[in-house]
Amino acid sequence: GRHSMLPRHMQRLGRDCIAHWNGSQVLAFNSPVSNCMRWAGHYPWASFPLPVPVDFSTNWRLPPFFGPWRQFQNSNWQLDNFTQSSCFHLPNPSMKSEGEEPLTKKRRLSGQHDTSTPEEETNLLNQKEAWCLSVAQNEEKHSSNKGTVQRHWEYFCQHSRTTKICENKETDQSNTESEAKFDFTVMSYNILSQNLLEDNSHLYKHCRQRLLIWTYRFPNILQEIKQLDADVLCLQEVQEDHYRTEIKPSLESLGYHCEYKMRTGRKPDGCAICFKTSKFSLISSNPVEFFRHDIPLLDRDNVGLVLLLQPRFHCKTTAAVCIANTHLLYNPRRGDIKLTQLAMLLAEIASVAPQKDGTFCPIIICGDFNSVPGSPLYRFIKEGKLNYEGLAIGKVSGQEQFPRGQRILPIPIWPKKLGISQNCVYEIKQEQREENAGEKLEAAKLDNAQEIVITSEKLSSKLQHHFKLSSVYSHYFPETGIPEVTTCHSRSAVTVDYIFYSAANDDTTTQPGGEDSFHGGLKLLGRLALLTEKDLWTVNGLPNENNSSDHLPLLAEFRLIER
């Protein structure tokens, strides 16, 4: 009577609390579900649940048509032979490449209407059916691992002229002087601030609520850190109260020294760099604040942190390693702010990393750059140059395929009073500039051509930096061309996290070119493989039962090469 307006099959489901199949497994429900979820075997084009495989097991939830919330929240039904692996994912099989959004969002951003033909709809339904089938197959494959997707180490062959990934780590016999070799590992990990999680709960509709509680999440995060056992940790979205009371004490008990920089505004999170005192000693710690009260462009509270570390090993010359960590602005439509924040970080690195002989020490830059591979911002980091003339602000990070607004980047992007040149280095101090201002002005009056040159330099649309940087990750799987992803939640599955490093000249994993401006360099020995979006949805995306952030940790092993 209460559900008389519903179709009969839905009324029956409302009354039949338990459904048997094959006489052995029992389907039961124990918690509500968001309406964005899809019940395994429940396709969007069907108005009722379809039969599911006998071996189906999942941490699924109650479909939304099952009566009052409270009645089912208080119930205690169970699923026989329950396992933790998940067969759920959001109805978004088309989000396959970097920076893409669901089709409905694409149409909304681009102002297009849904004019799909019947053939296109059929193809989409076939894709969804194939996706669900593959998810079920993957679920079976990983069911013995209790909801985890295994990541493996990829080692780079030392004696190959081209990049070649090996299954096992090779022993490098080319250098018998063991005291000149120093191997260490670096992790970059956005651990998802609890405050930001709660402020953006719409991104985690696919997660069970108990998995989103900090008391559940932190032990998982700490366990990941323990297992991966990196020598240097670069953490983003580190909430200040959690850092002070839990994160820092826990890491110090594991032998780490911790440095932290909190955001300058109301958001109580920041960046931390932690290193094992058995491997490094601290030379200097240099926080970078991207907010400037006197510059309207820089009204955001993101920060960075740059450490200069001394390796604890004996060698012929004094070596140092510069480690930088940052979390750039998210807003896809403010590429001008992103590039300025990046320039400020690079300028700080350029002031910290120089050695006595004028070269730079080896540099590693980690963080969440909120930019996708191949975007102008990404290319600027790797190539060391960017001509941004005519570049739309919304296209700098590549986060949106159809960016809203096409405002062009101004020339120059940031005002001169920021004190950073187009080469991303700090300019001469203001006092010195004032002392030389009269001489420069007089010289310009005597030579009008010189004045024209000065003006053209001020209006240059070319950014540069002097670091030869490579990315630890390739961003695509070489066998299939499928994108790697570093973050996966209800709205997106894409790469935004990176580890960049200054490669040694003989590092075959780096791209050719670049100035030889480094004191030695870093050889990439190996990396912890990333996953595809499809892999992650077999365990219900991120966060999940075992991975308690919406980002994956990145991990690389380096060898310090001395000249």
Element (H, E) at 26: strand 25-27
CB atoms within 10 A of CB 90: 20
- Please report, in tens digits, the pLDDT of each residue of the chain (563 residues total): 444 555 555 444 444 443 344 444 434 444 444 444 433 333 333 333 434 444 444 444 444 444 444 443 444 434 333 333 333 333 333 333 334 433 433 333 334 444 444 444 445 444 533 443 344 344 434 433 456 789 999 999 765 444 567 766 765 544 444 446 899 999 999 999 999 999 999 999 999 999 999 999 999 999 999 999 999 999 999 999 999 999 999 999 999 999 999 999 999 999 999 999 999 999 999 999 999 999 999 999 999 999 999 999 866 556 899 999 999 999 999 999 999 999 999 999 999 999 988 899 999 999 999 999 999 999 999 999 999 999 999 999 999 988 876 899 999 999 999 999 999 999 975 435 445 555 555 555 555 544 444 444 457 999 999 999 999 999 999 999 999 999 999 999 999 999 999 998 767 565 433 333 444 689 999 999 999 999 999 999 999 999 999 999 999 999 998 76
| pLDDT of res. 84 | 38
| pLDDT of res. 441 | 54
Sign of the CA dihedral running 352, 355, 359, 363: negative
CB atoms within 10 A of CB 419: 16
How far is residue 264's CA from residue 435's CA, in Å, rounded to a whole number? 33
For 472-531, the three-class secondary structure string (H helix, E strand, C coil) is: CCCCECCCCCCECECEECCCCEECCEEEEEEECCCCCCCCCCCCCCECCEEEEEEEECCE
What domains lie within the chain, and their CATH numbers? 179-424+459-508+517-562 (3.60.10.10)
| pLDDT of res. 481 | 97
Instruction: Say what the pTM is.
Output: 0.71
- Sequence-distant (6+) residues with CB within 8 A of 433 are 427
| pLDDT of res. 298 | 98
3-state SS, residue 537: helix
Element (H, E) at 142: helix 118-142
Phi-psi region of 520 (alpha: psi -120 to 50; beta: other; left: phi over 0): left
Task: Provide DSSP, 260-300.
Answer: EEE-SSS--EEEEEEEETTTEEEEEEEEEE---TT-TT---
- Sequence-distant (6+) residues with CB within 8 A of 137 are none
Q: At what angle do helices 335-352 and 376-383 cross, to 10 degrees?
A: 20
Locus of tokens 């002031």: 351
Pairing mode of beta strands 165-166, 385-387: unpaired
CB 231 within 8 A of CB 256: no
Task: Provide DSSP, 205-244.
Answer: TTS-GGGGSHHHHHHHHHHHHHHH--SEEEEEEEEHHHII
| pLDDT of res. 6 | 54
- Sequence-distant (6+) residues with CB within 8 A of 79 are 25, 26, 27, 28, 30, 57
DSSP 400: -
3-state SS, residue 13: helix
| pLDDT of res. 459 | 74
How far is residue 525's CA from residue 39's CA, in Å, rounded to a whole number? 43
- Give the residue among 529, 531, 532, 537 at the shortest CA–CA distance from 556: 529
DSSP 246: I
- Give the residue among 427, 433, 434, 429 at the shortest CA–CA distance from 412: 427
| pLDDT of res. 445 | 53
